[in-house]
Structure 1
Amino acid sequence: MSSSTATTAPPATTPTTITSPSPSSSSQQPKPKTKLKLKIRRAVAPADVAATTALINAAFRADDTTDVYLGAEHERISLATEESVLGSMTATDIAVFVGVVSKAAAVDYEGEELEHKEEEEEEIVGHFWLQKKSDTLAWLALLAVSVKGQGQGWGSQLVAHAEQVARDEWKAQRLEFDVVNTRSTLRRWYEKRGFVPTGRAKPFAYELHPDWEGVLRADLEFLYYGKDL
């Protein structure tokens, strides 16, 4: 991913949809009685950088399967840095979006009615960014949902918003992304939403992340998925 700005955007080989918007296979969060709808907005405030970085890394570390990691109890790694997130936010060809809910609602897992406040403090619980690859093609990356909000349908809301922006604002005719080949549950999740494999793949960039050696599986690669808009 390139940027014409001075700040460096995440490299093209940064894992994109490695985080999962759906619950992990072995740990389930308590599901609230009432689902909360996200407010989705552009990430532009300085405070968004730290919160977004923390969200992406927490979602990645929460994977307790062996889809990506060598073992369920193995060391976990960080996927994003504040520098890379800021680079995305300031890049001229990338639009970063976050999904937010009020902090009071975000911790209400019993579905109880909450007293409305005029200026409730927001909590970032979802994230993705879009890159305009061409006049007809948009690229989706780093879709992530807060672990404690999985099962709320927030991942679907984020994807739907990405499609809407790409189609209605950018006039793109197609949306694509890449996903790690071993994430079978995540791949099925996208397929249920109309995305299909393109038949293309690219190697996982192990050489750019020597600190990941011995932590991640050695058979990872990225598969391209796409959907006509």
Structure 2
Amino acid sequence: MPTHASPTFRAATAADIPAIVALVQSAYRGESGQRGWTTESHLLDGQRTDAEDVAGLIGRDDSRVLLAERDGTLVACCHVERQEEAGYFGMFAVNPDLQMAGLGRALLGEAERVVCEEWMTPAMRMSVIEQRAELIAWYERRGYQLTGETGMFPYGQPRFGIPRRDDLRFVYMSKRLEMPA
């Protein structure tokens, strides 16, 4: 794979919403997502997010949608939110054509930096669909551990996707972060 410049990171603004929605949809659903390994299209149909949801995340206190760009082009995004004693990580998407190039690892590192250094929060939490074993293993290789907690998938709420199976549920993962001295 050719070497590319390191991504730059910034917080999303309202002007970024259409590009974020398109990136998230392409990474999780539809044909383009099937090119990447993060797709959920075998588990869910329908939308992954919409403009209203993304605008809500951008506008909420203690919440940030982080963007990774190369040469001014959006290549990855995620959402972090301060929740009591931990940051929460979600809406993680990397352009399917650029997966396996280290962008996800770099963006996760930036999210951890924001939570730890800017918000002074000592841990990161996330939820992952239990059937996404490959993704869970990826997070485990980055120091995240399953907490043993589970949560129900929001069946009957199409804004989260239309399930293709009746056994979906969330598992929770966490990681202690290195606080700055």
TM > 0.5: yes
Instruction: Determine helix, strand or coil for the equivalent of 1:33.
Output: coil
| 1:196-228 Cα distance to aligned partner (Å, 9 max, x none) | 000001000012228955x52221100000000
**For 1:78, what is the secondary structure of its paired residue?**
coil
Matched, 1:33 2:2: yes
Task: Specify which structure has the higher proportion of helix.
Answer: 2
Task: Please name the residue that 2:107 is paired with.
Answer: 158
The answer to whether the 8 A contact 1:180-1:223 is kept is: yes
Give matches, 1:3-152, under 5 Å: 32-44=1-13, 46-61=14-29, 62-63=33-34, 68-70=40-42, 76-102=45-71, 122-134=72-84, 136-152=85-101
Aligned sequence identity (%): 27
**TM-superposition CA deviations, 1:58-97 (whole Å, max 9, x none):** 10111478x85458xxx84211101111111111121111
Equivalent residue, structure 1, for 2:166: 218
Measure the CA separation in 2 of the matches of 1:177 and 1:152. 22
Matched positions, count: 172
- State the shift of 1:137 in Å: 1.1
Higher fraction of strand: 2
Q: Does 1:183 align with 2:132?
A: yes
Q: Which runs of 4+ in 1 moved over 4 A?
A: 67-71, 210-213
Task: Return the letter of the residue paired with 2:154.
Answer: A
Contact 1:202-1:221 within 8 A present in 2 as well? yes
Partner letter of residue 228 of structure 1? R
Q: Which runs of 5+ in 2 are unaligned?
A: none
The structure with higher relative contact order (CA 8 Å, sep 6+) is 1
Q: Partners in 1 of 2:28 and 2:127 — Cα distance?
A: 16
TM-score, normalising length: structure 1:
0.70
- Larger CA Rg, structure 1 vs 2: 1
